[in-house]
Structure formats: structure tokens, C-alpha cells
């Protein structure tokens, strides 16, 4: 699973018929031989797990021939092995746009799917694997990886739903706790106000107490004055002679 496809190149001889034709096409032949040689060097380094060195060789091949689809593809492979998945994705996309062969197009999308999956872009990897299978329905590894990615996506979605539900439940519990706390505070405040009201009703301020004492004193004084007046009236009555 997730084993990338890698292209290899074999040099092919070119027989010259006419000297003038050879002279005309010789620069192109030398350039083509140069990038294929560098691709072969990169492949040897790749097989020895020297992925950084292999990348350098492949990039040198691209410098020789910037339209070398095989070199671009293999750069993506070397980057993938170095866990540079984002960089690898670009190489496979570029390769896919350069090649016409259906099998090679399928291979570029397959490797792109692997790079996306390793970068945790699961949904994008599924689309890449599906694209690979359109060009090559017999690619069993693409079928397997597609199933794996689809299963992984389902699990991630279920986990996200569970986390979302758990968060909603937690928020609901927090709201209930806040409401209960608020109600408790309201009850305590109401009870406190009632107690204070009772206390206010039972207690008399110093000013009210003084006014009450003054009122009582005035009442007593009035009573005494009434008593004196009654005695005086009684005395006057007694001095009056009967007719």
C-alpha cells in the first residue's frame, strides 16, 4: 500500500544515415542522452534509498530537458520518500499535464493520491485515486488505496460528529450549571432581602427612639397637667356655698 510507481529509462541508439542530418540533430541527441543518463543515475541512487541524492540527479535532468515528464515524475517520488508531501504533489500534477499515455496519467494521479493521503488530505486523495482508475481501471493498488481512504474518511467524519455532539452536551451541561447557579444566587439574594426587611422592621433608629421617648414624655406631662387641673376644679367647687 502507498508504494509509488517510478519510471526507468533505457538508452536507445540512434543510427545516422547522413552526416548532415547527424550534425543537425546532434545537439538534441546529446541533450536527450544527458537527461536520460541523469535519470538513470537518480534511479540507482533511489534504489539505494539515497532519496536526496536521487532528487538532485532528477532535477539536473530537468535542467537538461525541462519537458522531461519522467524526470519530473521521479522528482515527485524522491520528495515523497523524504516526506515532503506538499512538494511531491506539485510534481505529480505537472507530470500529469505533460503525459498523454493513459497508463502514465493513471500513475501520476495514483502517486498524487498517495501524497495527498500522507498529508492527511483524505477527501482530495479519494478524488485522485478515482481519477487514476478512470485512466487505468485495472490498477489494483489504486482500488485498494481508494477503499482505505474512503473508510478513513468515514471514521474521521464519525469522530467529528461524536466530538461535536460531546461539545454540544458539554455546553448544555454548562448552561444548566450556570442557570442553577444563577437561580441559587437569586434565592440567596431574595432570602437576604427578606431577612433584612424583618430586621429593619424590628429595629428602631436612634432618631425614631428619641421621638418616641419625647412623645411618651409629652403624654406623661399632659396627664400630670390634667390631674392638677382636675384637683384645682374640685377645690373650687368645694368653696362654692350651697344655696
177 domain residue, yes or no: no
155 domain residue, yes or no: no
What confidence tens digit (pLDDT) does each residue in 29-74 have? 444 568 999 999 999 999 999 999 999 999 999 999 999 999 999 9
Helix (H, G, I), strand (E, B) or coil at 119: coil
188 domain residue, yes or no: no
pTM value is 0.60
**Residue 201: all three cell numbers together:** 422592621
> Region 95-110: what's the mean pLDDT?
97
- Residue 94 phi/psi, 5-degree rounding, is -60, -40
Residue bearing the bigger pLDDT, 231 or 59: 59
> Region 79-85: what's the mean pLDDT?
97
CA-closest candidate to residue 25, choices 14, 34, 36: 14
21 domain residue, yes or no: yes
pLDDT of residue 10: 46
User: Which residues lie below 8 Å from residue 22, measured CB to CB, with a gap of 6+?
Assistant: 16
The structural domain count of the chain equals: 1
CATH assignment of the domain containing 43: 1.25.40
pLDDT of residue 164: 85
- Residue 134 phi/psi, 5-degree rounding, is -65, -35
pLDDT-derived band at 6, boundaries 50, 70, 90 = low
What confidence tens digit (pLDDT) does each residue in 175-186 have? 878 888 888 888
DSSP state of 204: -
What confidence tens digit (pLDDT) does each residue in 189-230 have? 888 888 777 766 666 567 766 776 777 666 666 666 666 666
Instruction: Say how far apart CA 14 and CA 28 lie, in whole Å.
Output: 12
Domain region containing 36: 17-82
34 domain residue, yes or no: yes
Amino acid at each position: 500500500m502507498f508504494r509509488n510507481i517510478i519510471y526507468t529509462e533505457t538508452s536507445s541508439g540512434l543510427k545516422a544515415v547522413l552526416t548532415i542530418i547527424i550534425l543537425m540533430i546532434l545537439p538534441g541527441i546529446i541533450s536527450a542522452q544527458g537527461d536520460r543518463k541523469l535519470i538513470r543515475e537518480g534511479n540507482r541512487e533511489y534504489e539505494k534509498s539515497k532519496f536526496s541524492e536521487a532528487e538532485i540527479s532528477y532535477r539536473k535532468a530537468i535542467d537538461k530537458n525541462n519537458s522531461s515528464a519522467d524526470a519530473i515524475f521521479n522528482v515527485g517520488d524522491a520528495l515523497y520518500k523524504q516526506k515532503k508531501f506538499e512538494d511531491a504533489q506539485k510534481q505529480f500534477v505537472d507530470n500529469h499535464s505533460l503525459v498523454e499515455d493513459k497508463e502514465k496519467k493513471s500513475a501520476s494521479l495514483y502517486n498524487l493520491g498517495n501524497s495527498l493521503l500522507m498529508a492527511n488530505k483524505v477527501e482530495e486523495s479519494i478524488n485522485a485515486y478515482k481519477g487514476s482508475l478512470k485512466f487505468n481501471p485495472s490498477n489494483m493498488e489504486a482500488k485498494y488505496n481508494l477503499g482505505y481512504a474512503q473508510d478513513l474518511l468515514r471514521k474521521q467524519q464519525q469522530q467529528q460528529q461524536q466530538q461535536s455532539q460531546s461539545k454540544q452536551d458539554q455546553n448544555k451541561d454548562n448552561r444548566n450549571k450556570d442557570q442553577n447557579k444563577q437561580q441559587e444566587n437569586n434565592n440567596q439574594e431574595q432570602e437576604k432581602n427578606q431577612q433584612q426587611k424583618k430586621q429593619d422592621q424590628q429595629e428602631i433608629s436612634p432618631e425614631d427612639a428619641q421621638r418616641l421617648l419625647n412623645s411618651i414624655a409629652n403624654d406623661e406631662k399632659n396627664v400630670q397637667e390634667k390631674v392638677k387641673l382636675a384637683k384645682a376644679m374640685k377645690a373650687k367647687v368645694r368653696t362654692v356655698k350651697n344655696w
